[in-house]
Structure formats: structure tokens, C-alpha cells
């Protein structure tokens, strides 16, 4: 059976059980869009190609599937780069399909030609330029396999227009095997035994869980392991939800804006078990002082991440879920009772730290709205069940601190790249993945405007995404640094010409509400959450409120500025 490249693409997408594509059409992908009409694959046309990648990213994080987006060549392709880098930094499985000029024009500076393979090489797990239609099916299969296997990540496939139109005999490809790419899933048993020995000997152990736990669907195994061993758990920003945030063993988030108990316990522990983490600079602070009393066990599927930033006593290369399954089997009941008694003083010490410096704020009923109060009320009114996306900045940190995530895949945020404008399109992707769930984007007034055009996407597809804007009329996180370290010299961070977000919502055909007093917060949240369709809620919050705790850049994580 002879098929065009566009038809082969549709065949492979259906074989890979792709049900949704986020995209924006153009000349070099017109044949693909023509074939897309003949399938049952849902296409969500965004308003900007960056939004397409973020939406596919949000879909992938929420559902655990590979997200797919489709854009045209030239500026369509280059507009995806920020979204691709966002997914790459956070190890999110995506397949990005870009159109390209015909092969005979490549290198001739043709209209809307750009070397997107060269541009994205540093921020993709792998990428391809398809030069022959006969190779298309194999390349697409490899792209999905690479994106979802091992440490996940984005894979780009660049498809010239003549390849989409050309015909070849199509034969379904059953399986994919790449000689040079063989991720290690099963851990070395000797290394696991070493880890168990350190756990038995430790007096003050801690677990540090990251996004890898969520990506490998290992949250149940992690929870079982922590409860079985009575070891307290802290999480990175990307790891929130990997362990229930309301569990007594949960210390909350670690790092620059981590909790007092998490940062202090890390500095005091004698064993730190890192699972699916990168030990990035926002977590470690000054690396020489990070967990300086501890031996570190590092479990990760990516061997290049181990020993990259910290000294590791026991490296364990393998899938987080499989490693935890092995560890759970290796600890017997007698050892559990011994561990419980031995760790009681350590857990009591942590509880004292927790009580001494709780996450706290003071909401004056007659004063300005505290942003923490908005997130607190959102958590209460949703019973912690909403899928929360965030933009980047203070809004992101307050959401991480005050919305206590109980399940994986409920906190979707740009961690490694810190991409403003991520939250709204990611919320659209999450809502497509789970049409019956409540999806809320916690945003700032600066970051929401980065991709505000995607309000039109939410309205067109009748997606009931709710947007909570913590509006302090400034670029809050940069302003906070200027306030604390630059003598309140607010250079270019005050946004005194922000739009009226209520009118803006109405202009897009959505609903808008505003809260200006603390007494408005609960009723506006209730009204916004109950109103059908997309809603913007504009909360005018205190301008100079800061995120605490805060570790100054380059300082040890024990040197926290406290509220």
C-alpha cells in the first residue's frame, strides 16, 4: 500500500494512540493538516506556537502520555524553542513535529527556512531531519520511543514539504531497537544492598524526592518506602505531589524557598537518599555546605545526573519505580520495628523545627489582600483536589508552599527553565487531558501576559480553565530581590500600565471577577470556580509582600531569611 508522508504520519500517530495534537497550521504542513481532517485525532489550534508546546507539555505532565505538537517552518518552528527548552529541563516527553521547506531548497535561504534541527540540538533529547519519505515511519517510531523511555524528554522531527507529499510503500513497524540507546531500568543489586546498609546504620536519614519519582509513576512505592522505614521526605519543586503533602513525614519543599524544617533537617541529616533528583543550584545553595554531615545515596535513571553536582556515596542507576520496589522488598518487618524506635528522636527534633518556624502570614481583615491567603483559601475550597498550573515567580512559590499537593501530576510548573507564560497554555493541555477535573492556573500579573492570547483557545474549545491572578502590579520576584538586596531601587519591575483583567476576560468572551479586599477573596473564588467556562479572577494583593523563607543566592540553605 502506497501512502504519502502525511498519511504515514497519521498512521504512526494512531498506532502510538495519540488522541490530541496542539498546533498552528502553515504552508509547509498543509498536506499534514489536510490528512489530519480525515482522522479522529483531536487538533487544538492555539494562538501562538509557544503555547502549542506548553499545552502539549501540560497534557503530558497531567496524563503521563507523550504530548504532541505540530507547527510550520521558519518562525513557526523557532517560536517553539522556549517550550522545547522548558520540557527539556524538566524531562517531559514530547514529540514536536515541524514543517520544513522542500529538501532541494534547504540551505538556499528559502522563504521561511530555518535550521530548526541545529537550533534545538542543545535543548532536545534527540532530533531528526527527514530527507526521504521511506525513512519517515521508522523515524517517527524512534521519536516516540526516545521521548518516553529512560529519562524522558522532547524529540523534534523536522519534515520537509516534499517528504509530506511524496509516496512510498508503508509497512507497520512493530518494535523499536536503537543499538546506541539502551536505558538502564534494573538497578545493580550490590548498590541497593549498600543503600540498605546505610539506612540501617543511619540515625538521622532523609529522603529527597524529585520529578523523576513522578515521571516514573513511583509515588505509591515512595510513599510505601517512607512509611515503612519512618524516614521523613522532602521534595523539590518538581517533586511536589510525589509524596502526600499532608503526611506527617512530609517536610514540604526544600531549597531557596523551601520550608525551615526541610532545609534545617537536610543540613543535620547523616543520610540523604535522593530519588529522581538533579541536585540543582536552587536546591543545594552553596554546594560545599549542602548535607555536609550526610552520606548521599542517589537513585536516578540518568547516569550523567549522578555525581554531577554533589558527592555521592552510593550511586544507583535505574528506574525510580523499580528501585523502590526492590528496596521495599529488601527491608523486613524486624528491621522496620528497629528503625521506628531508632528514628523517634530524629522525628521529634524535626517536629520541633516545624513548630518553631511554620510557613505563616498575617491577614489583616482591613488591610491589603495577602497572596498567601488567596492560595490558602483556594486549597481549602478545592479540598486540595484541583490540578494546579503556575506561571513563574512569586505566584509559583506561594502555590508550592500553600497548596499542599497530595497526588502526583497535580502540580504543573516550569522548574528548570523558569518560563513565564507557561501556566495558561499548560492548564489548557491539562484540561484537555482531564476534561472533568478542575484546572486552576495560579498566575502573576506580569507572567500571565506572556501568553494571554491563549485565552482565545480556552474560549473557542470551551475549556473551563480558572485563572487566579495574584496582581501586585509588578514583576514580583525580581522586585523582591530589588527590595531586599538593592535598596528598593525598582528598576523596570513596576507594571503600572497593566490591563483591566476583568475587561480583558470579557473581550475574549470569558468571565472576569476582581477582589480588592480580604473579605472579597472567598466569595470571588467560589463564584469563579462555580462559573462555567474559562474565568479570570484578579486579586489585588499587597505589592511589597515577599516569599519567605528565602535563601540568598550562593548562601547555604540554612541561612534563610524568615518572615
- Please enumerate, as own/partner, the contacts of 109-115 that have beta carbons within 8 Å and a separation of 24 or more: 111/74, 112/26, 112/27, 112/28, 112/72, 112/73, 112/74, 112/75, 112/76, 113/73, 113/74, 114/73, 114/74, 114/75, 114/77, 114/78
Element (H, E) at 397: helix 394-402
Active site residue 111: yes
Dihedral sign for Cα atoms in the order 167, 168, 172, 177: negative
Note if 501 is an active site residue.
no
What sign does the dihedral 343-348-349-354 (CA atoms) show? Answer: positive
Q: Is residue 220 flagged as an active site residue? A: no
From the candidates 397, 450, 477, 550, give the one annotated as an active-site residue: 477
65, 141, 161, 466: the catalytic one is 161
**In this structure, are residues 314 and 208 in contact, taking their beta carbons and an 8 Å threshold?**
no
Tell me the H-state helices in 269-370.
281-284, 320-330, 333-356
Question: What is the spatial distance between Cα 51 and Cα 424, in angstroms, rounded to a whole number?
Answer: 8
Q: Which residue has the cell 513557526?
A: 76
Q: Which of 112, 191, 349, 363 is catalytic?
A: 112
Cβ burial of 532 (10 Å; 0-12, 13-18, 19+) is: exposed
Under DSSP, is residue 501 helix (H, G, I), strand (E, B) or coil?
A: helix
The single residue of 16, 35, 49, 113 carrying the catalytic annotation is 49
Q: 358 an active-site residue?
A: no
- Three cell numbers written together for 443: 498566575
With beta carbons less than 8 A apart as the criterion, state whether 144 and 162 touch. no
Query: Which residue in the list 14, 38, 42, 111 is annotated as catalytic?
Result: 111
Q: Helix/strand/coil (H, E, C) string of 121-181?
A: HHHCCEEEECCCHHHHHHHHHHHHHHHHCCCCCEEEEEEEHHHHHCEEECCCCCCCCCCCC
CA proximity to 463, closest of 494, 423, 436: 436
CA distance 373 to 522: 10
Q: Do 512 and 505 touch, CB atoms closer than 8 A?
A: yes
112 labelled catalytic: yes
The residues assigned a catalytic role are 49, 111-112, 161, 477
Amino acid at each position: 500500500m502506497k501512502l504519502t508522508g502525511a498519511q504515514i504520519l497519521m498512521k504512526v500517530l494512531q498506532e502510538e494512540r495519540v488522541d490530541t495534537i496542539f498546533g498552528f497550521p502553515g504552508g509547509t504542513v498543509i498536506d499534514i493538516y489536510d490528512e489530519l481532517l480525515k482522522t479522529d485525532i483531536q487538533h487544538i489550534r492555539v494562538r501562538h506556537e509557544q503555547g502549542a508546546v506548553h499545552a502539549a507539555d501540560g497534557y503530558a505532565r497531567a496524563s503521563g502520555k507523550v504530548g504532541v505538537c505540530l507547527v510550520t517552518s521558519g518562525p513557526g518552528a523557532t517560536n517553539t524553542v522556549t517550550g522545547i527548552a522548558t520540557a527539556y529541563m524538566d524531562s517531559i516527553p514530547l514529540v514536536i513535529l515541524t514543517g520544513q521547506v522542500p529538501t532541494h531548497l534547504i540551505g538556499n535561504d528559502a522563504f521561511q527556512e530555518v535550521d530548526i534541527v541545529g537550533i534545538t540540538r542543545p535543548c532536545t533529547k534527540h532530533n531528526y531531519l527527514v530527507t526521504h519519505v521511506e525513512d519517515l515511519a521508522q523515524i517517527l517510531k524512534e521519536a516516540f520511543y526516545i521521548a518516553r523511555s529512560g529519562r524522558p524528554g522532547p524529540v523534534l522531527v523536522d519534515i520537509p514539504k516534499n517528504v509530506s507529499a511524496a509516496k512510498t510503500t508503508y509497512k507497520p513497524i512493530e518494535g523499536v531497537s536503537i543499538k546506541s540507546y539502551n536505558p538502564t531500568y534494573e538497578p545493580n543489586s550490590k548498590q541497593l544492598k549498600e543503600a540498605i546498609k546505610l539506612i540501617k546504620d543511619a540515625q538521622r536519614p532523609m529522603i529527597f524526592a524529585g520529578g523523576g519519582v513522578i515521571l516514573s509513576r513511583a509515588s505509591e512505592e515512595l510513599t510505601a518506602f517512607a512509611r515503612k522505614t519512618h524516614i521523613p521526605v522532602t521534595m523539590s519543586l518538581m517533586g511536589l505531589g510525589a509524596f502526600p503533602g499532608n503526611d506527617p513525614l512530609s517536610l514540604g519543599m526544600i531549597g531557596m524557598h523551601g520550608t525551615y524544617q526541610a532545609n534545617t533537617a537536610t543540613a543535620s541529616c547523616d543520610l540523604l537518599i535522593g530519588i529522581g533528583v538533579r541536585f540543582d543550584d536552587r536546591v543545594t545553595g552553596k554546594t560545599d555546605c549542602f548535607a555536609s554531615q550526610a552520606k548521599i545515596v542517589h537513585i536516578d535513571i540518568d547516569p550523567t545526573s549522578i555525581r554531577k553536582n554533589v558527592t555521592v556515596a552510593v550511586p544507583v542507576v535505574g528506574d525510580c519505580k523499580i528501585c523502590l520496589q526492590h528496596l521495599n522488598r529488601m527491608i523486613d518487618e524486624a528491621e522496620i520495628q528497629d528503625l521506628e524506635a531508632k528514628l523517634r528522636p530524629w522525628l521529634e527534633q524535626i517536629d520541633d523545627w516545624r513548630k518553631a518556624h511554620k510557613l505563616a502570614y498575617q491577614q489583616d481583615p482591613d488591610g491589603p489582600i495577602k497572596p498567601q491567603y488567596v492560595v490558602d483559601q483556594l486549597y481549602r475550597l478545592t479540598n486540595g483536589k484541583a490540578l494546579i498550573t503556575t506561571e513563574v515567580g512569586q505566584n509559583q512559590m506561594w502555590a508550592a508552599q500553600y497548596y499542599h499537593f497530595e497526588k502526583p501530576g497535580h502540580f504543573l510548573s516550569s522548574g528548570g527553565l523558569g518560563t513565564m507564560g507557561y501556566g495558561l497554555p499548560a492548564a489548557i493541555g491539562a484540561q484537555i487531558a482531564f476534561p472533568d477535573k478542575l484546572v486552576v492556573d495560579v498566575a502573576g500579573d506580569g507572567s500571565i501576559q506572556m501568553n494571554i492570547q491563549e485565552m482565545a483557545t480556552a474560549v473557542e474549545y470551551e475549556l473551563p480553565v480558572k485563572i487566579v491572578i495574584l496582581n501586585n502590579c509588578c514583576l514580583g520576584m525580581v522586585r523582591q530581590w530589588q527590595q531586599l538586596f538593592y535598596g528598593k531601587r525598582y528598576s523596570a519591575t513596576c507594571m503600572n500600565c497593566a490591563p483591566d483583567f476583568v475587561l480583558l476576560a470579557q473581550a475574549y468572551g470569558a468571565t472576569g471577577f476582581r477582589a480588592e479586599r480580604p473579605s472579597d477573596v472567598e466569595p470571588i473564588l467560589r463564584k469563579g470556580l462555580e462559573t462555567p467556562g474559562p474565568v479570570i479572577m484578579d486579586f489585588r494583593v499587597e505589592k511589597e509582600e515577599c516569599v519567605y523563607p528565602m535563601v540568598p543566592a550562593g548562601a547555604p540553605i540554612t541561612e534563610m531569611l524568615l518572615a
